[in-house]
Chains A and B, each alone.
Chain A
Amino acid sequence: MITDQTLIQVEQLEKSFGSLHALQGIDLSIHKGDVLVIIGPSGSGKSTFLRCLNLLEMPTGGKILFEGEDITAPKANINLYRQKMGMVFQQFNLFPHMTILKNMTLAPIRLLKRSKEEAEEKAMALLKRVGLAERATAYPSQLSGGQKQRIAIVRALCMDPDVMLFDEPTSALDPEMVGEVLEVMRELALDGMTMAVVTHEMGFAREVGTRVVFMDEGRILEEAEPQRFFDAPQNQRTKDFLSKVL
C-alpha cells in the first residue's frame, strides 16, 4: 500500500549476475522515519538489495519507486535521486586525496551549488556532532577505522538526504571501534532519519530498528517489529539463523 509516508516502494525486484539469481522478487516499502534493519546469512542478497536501492547495482526486473517516482525507468535521472539517498559503505570509501573537510564539502558545493562558506559551516557543525571537529584538516589516512566511518556518515549527511543506506557499516572495523559508529547511527535514528541498514549487529537491530527484515537466498522470509522478530520468530530458517548468531 502506498501512502504519503512511503519513501521507497520496492515491487518484485529481481537481480541476476549471469546465472546467479541474487534477488528473486523482493516486495518492500520503507516509510518516513523507518529504521529498517536487514539481516541474513552471507550470500543472502541483502547487500545486493541495498545497492539496488540507489542503483549501484542495476536491477534486472521489478520497480523501485522513490518518493513516488520510478527510478528504474530508462529516462529517470538517477544522479538527482542519489543526492537524496546517502550511502555508507563497509570500506568507508573516503577520498584519500582530499582533507576531511574537502571530502564533506565537495558534493554540496558542486551539486547543490552551495557557497564554500555555507558548505563548510554545515560540515563543521556535523563534525562537532560526531566529535571530530579537530580533524577537519586531516587526511583520511591519518584516521582510525571508526573515525573514517563516522566521517563517511557525516559526508553523506552533508547532502541533506531523505534516507540513509548503510551497507554493513561496522563489518570492517576493529571490535573496539564498532560502538562509536553505532552510537552515531543511533543518534541519527533518534533524530528521525529514515534508514535502511544491512548489518550483523543484532543488538543494534533490536534497540534501534523499527522493523527487521530477514533475507535468505534472494527472498524476504520474515518481516516484523524487532521485539516480535527476536522473541517470537515465525519462520524456521529465521529461528535457525537467530539461534546461531544470538
Chain B
Amino acid sequence: MAEWFHACYVGLCQWSDTLRIKFINDFISDDRWRYLWNGLGVTLKVTLGALILGIILGFLVAMIRSAHDTTGKMKIGNAICRIYLTVIRGTPVVVQLLIIYFVVFASVNIDKSIVAIIAFGINSGAYVAEIVRSGIMSIDKGQMEAGRSLGFNYVQTMRFIILPQAVKNVIPALGNEFIVLLKETSISGYIALQDLTKGGDIIRGRTFDAFLPLIAVALIYLVLVMILSKLVTTLERRLRSSDH
C-alpha cells in the first residue's frame, strides 16, 4: 500500500515538473505570452467596435421596422431591413466574415481588424434589431399616444418615452447578445487576424503543446464573460431604481 502511494507521489512530482517545463516553454520562452496579450487586445478592440456598430445598426433597423408596423409608412426602408435580417440571420457568421474579407474588400488593402469589426458589427446589428424591436413592442401603445397627444413627433416620442422604457426591458437580452458577440470573434482566425484564440493556437503550433495554451485561452474568455455579465447585472439594477 505504501509503495503504491509512493509511486503516486513520484508520478505527481514528475507530472508537475513536466507541467512547469511546459508552462515555461509555452508562455515564458521567446515571450510567447505576448501572443495571448496582443490577441486579447485585438479581441477586445474587435468586440467593442462591433458592439458599437451593432447597436447603431440595430436601433436604426428596430426604429424603421416598428415605425412601419405602427404607421404603415417607410415601406421601402422596411423591405430593406427585412432582407438584411433574413440574410444575416440565415447564413453562418464565418461565411459572412469570409465574404466580407475575400469578396467585398478583396481588392482593398485594409486593416483586418476593421474588416472583422464591420463583419461582426453587421451580424450583431441584426440580432440587436430584433431584441430592441421586441422591447419597443412590449411598451403599451397608450405611451405612444400620450406622447403624440402632447405634440411630440414620432421620433421625439421614441427618444424620450418609448426607447428608455424599451431598453430597460431588454437589457438582459442585449447583455446576452454582447456575450455571444465576444465569443463569436474567436473565428477571426479565418481571415488570419491574430485575436486571442489565434494567439493561443499559434503557441500550440510552435511548442506542439495543446493543453496549456488552449486552456489559458478558454480561461481568459471565461473571465471576460464573467466581468461582462457582472456589468450587465449592475446596469440592470441601476435602471430598475425607478420601479417601485
Contacts and interface: CB of A to CB of B under 8 A. Distances in A.
Interface string A54-94: 10100000000000000000000001101101110101011
A142 B244 CA distance: 7
A77 to B, nearest CB: 9
Contacts of A80: 151
A contact residues, range: 20 to 34
Interface stretch (B82-90, B140-148, B212-220): B140-148
B153 interface: yes
B150 interface: yes
A125 interface: no
Contacts, number: 67
A101 interface: no
B161 A95 contact: yes
A141 B243 contact: yes
Contacts of B147: 95
Given A139-B244, A141-B244, A142-B244, A93 B143 contact: yes
Contacts of B142: 89, 91, 93
Contacts of A142: 244
Nearest to B142: A93
B32 to A, nearest CB: 51
Q: Tell me the interface secondary structure of chain A in the complex.
A: mixed
Contacts of A54: 149
Contacts of A97: 164-165, 168, 242
A107 B152 contact: yes
B156 interface: yes
A98 B161 CA distance: 9
Interface of A: 54, 56, 79-80, 82-83, 85-87, 89, 91, 93-98, 106-107, 110-111, 139, 141-142, 155-156, 159
Given A93-B143, A111-B151, A141-B244, 4 more contacts: A89-B142, A89-B146, A91-B142, A141-B243
21 contacts: A56-B148, A79-B148, A80-B151, A82-B151, A85-B149, A87-B145, A89-B145, A91-B140, A91-B142, A93-B143, A93-B145, A93-B146, A95-B146, A97-B168, A106-B150, A107-B152, A110-B156, A110-B160, A111-B150, A156-B150, A159-B151
